[in-house]
Amino acid sequence: MTMIKLFDSVAAAYQQAPASFYDQQGPAHDQFGRRINYLRVSLTDRCNFRCVYCMPAEGVQFTSKSELLTNEELLRVIKSAAAVGFEKIRLTGGEPTLRRGLVELVREIARTPGIREISMTTNGLLLDDMAGPLAEAGLTRVNISIDTLNPEKFRRMTRGGNLERVWAGIEAAEAAGLTPLKLNCVIVRGYNEDDAADLARLTLKWPWQMRFIEVMPLVGVDGVAEGGVVPTAELIERIERECGPLEFVGWFGSDPARTYKLQDAKGTLGFISSVTDPFCSTCNRMRLTADGKLHLCLLRDDELDLRAALRGGANDSDLEALIRQAVHLKPWGHGLPEGVKPTVRGMSQLGG
């Protein structure tokens, strides 16, 4: 059972807190004392891949253009989020490089007082040409998805993706200084658990972080997620069997990845265990969907409709108050151990 119902109106959000709540100052904290300072912004729910752990094979019903936040609306939300203490912005999708005017949007976000880091998660397909302009505009770094180094497996997992073009995007990102570079791999049993060691070996040559992520049971991929989770402990054992012992480096603040290193490696390995060993106690993030909903926890359905506020005449103070309220109501963590699964949105709408 989710902690709050889906907010159908801005008025419903106001009713959740005492009148004095909106006089609060300083960086926003949730009711558990966690400081929430990281906003993941989905720019679109469209993607040029159809990854097995993200979208169903038949695709999804994409959001119409009129329902998406405009650049002006996005910038208003980011400005208000910064005013209540958000410092880090991550651009996600779908695939964020499909958003028209992305470079100029990054430039405007970089000008927002209080924002100290702008990163992006991308599949890398279009990054070869875009890495330089994005870095010049103010993008700090990127995470690039790469689930296998086998071209045939890559096409299977992405349902048509081109590994060669993605690798060109990785090289372009490094050349543009979008570092430290992090590579994301979602491990799905029966698809790519045998590829983990080869991916881990990339860190012997390059100073990257190779991140292994447990597949999550979001909407539209139930058939893949059911039985598809490869626990981190099992994955570490697989990698050590092929590559030698791993040295534990640390678990740093709100970073969800527990970090390890192969002997004599230039880079590191990160393991994100959302399902088998969640990190809710250190969570510092919220998500803005492309259609303007502030989503409070990746694996729950709780949301607040900021688009309704924006298009209903809310001023900046109203937006700041609503964001503070959403932060206050952020759940402690997901409910997977109790059988609570998200039912409203898939990964392509939330950006991970």
Tell which residue, 284, 298, 271, has the closest CA to residue 213.
271
pLDDT, tens digit (0-9, with 9 covering 90-100), for 43-75: 999 999 999 998 887 777 899 999 999 999 999
Q: What are phi and psi of 85, to 5 degrees?
A: 115, 0
Query: What is the greatest pairwise CA distance in the chain?
Result: 59
> In the structure encoding, which two tokens stand for residue 197, read together?
């060691």
**214: helix, strand or coil:** strand
> In the structure encoding, which two tokens stand for residue 111, read together?
């000008």
Q: Residue 35 domain-assigned?
A: yes
What is the predicted pLDDT for the residue at 114?
97
Residue 161 pLDDT more than 80?
yes
CA–CA dist 26, 44 (Å, integer)? 31
What is the predicted pLDDT for the residue at 4?
33
CB 82 within 8 A of CB 111: no
Q: Residue 163 domain-assigned?
A: no
Q: Residue 53 domain-assigned?
A: yes
Tell which residue, 327, 332, 335, has the closest CA to residue 304.
327
Domain that holds residue 284: 10-145+175-350
- pLDDT tier for residue 26 given thresholds of 50, 70 and 90: confident
Q: Residue 156 domain-assigned?
A: no
Per-residue CA distances from 104 to 43, 134, 164 (Å): 13, 9, 28
Q: Residue 1 domain-assigned?
A: no
> In the structure encoding, which two tokens stand for residue 179, read together?
């570092």
Q: Residue 168 domain-assigned?
A: no
Residue 13 pLDDT more than 70?
no
Predicted TM-score of the model (pTM) = 0.92
Spatial CB neighbours of 114, under 8 Å, sequence gap ≥ 6: 82, 83, 85, 86, 87
Q: Would you tell me how many other CB atoms lie within 10 Å of the CB of residue 31?
A: 12
CB 331 within 8 A of CB 36: no
Total domain count, the chain: 1
Q: Residue 167 domain-assigned?
A: no
In this structure, what DSSP letter does residue 21 have?
G
Read off the CATH number of the domain in which 122 is found.
3.20.20.70
CB 54 within 8 A of CB 215: no
What is the predicted pLDDT for the residue at 6?
37
Q: Residue 162 domain-assigned?
A: no
Tell which residue, 89, 196, 221, 217, has the closest CA to residue 146.
196
Q: Estimate to the nearest angstrom the gap between the alpha carbon of 66 and the chain centroid.
A: 24
The dihedral built from the CA positions of residue 184, 226, 256 and 139, taken in this order, carries a sign that is: positive
pLDDT, tens digit (0-9, with 9 covering 90-100), for 225-263: 778 999 999 999 999 999 999 999 999 888 999 999 999
The dihedral built from the CA positions of residue 122, 123, 126 and 131, taken in this order, carries a sign that is: positive
Which one-letter amino acid corresponds to residue 258? R
> In the structure encoding, which two tokens stand for residue 258, read together?
């527990």
* Residue the block writes with tokens 């729910």: 45
pLDDT, tens digit (0-9, with 9 covering 90-100), for 78-130: 999 999 999 999 999 999 999 999 999 999 999 999 999 999 999 999 999 99
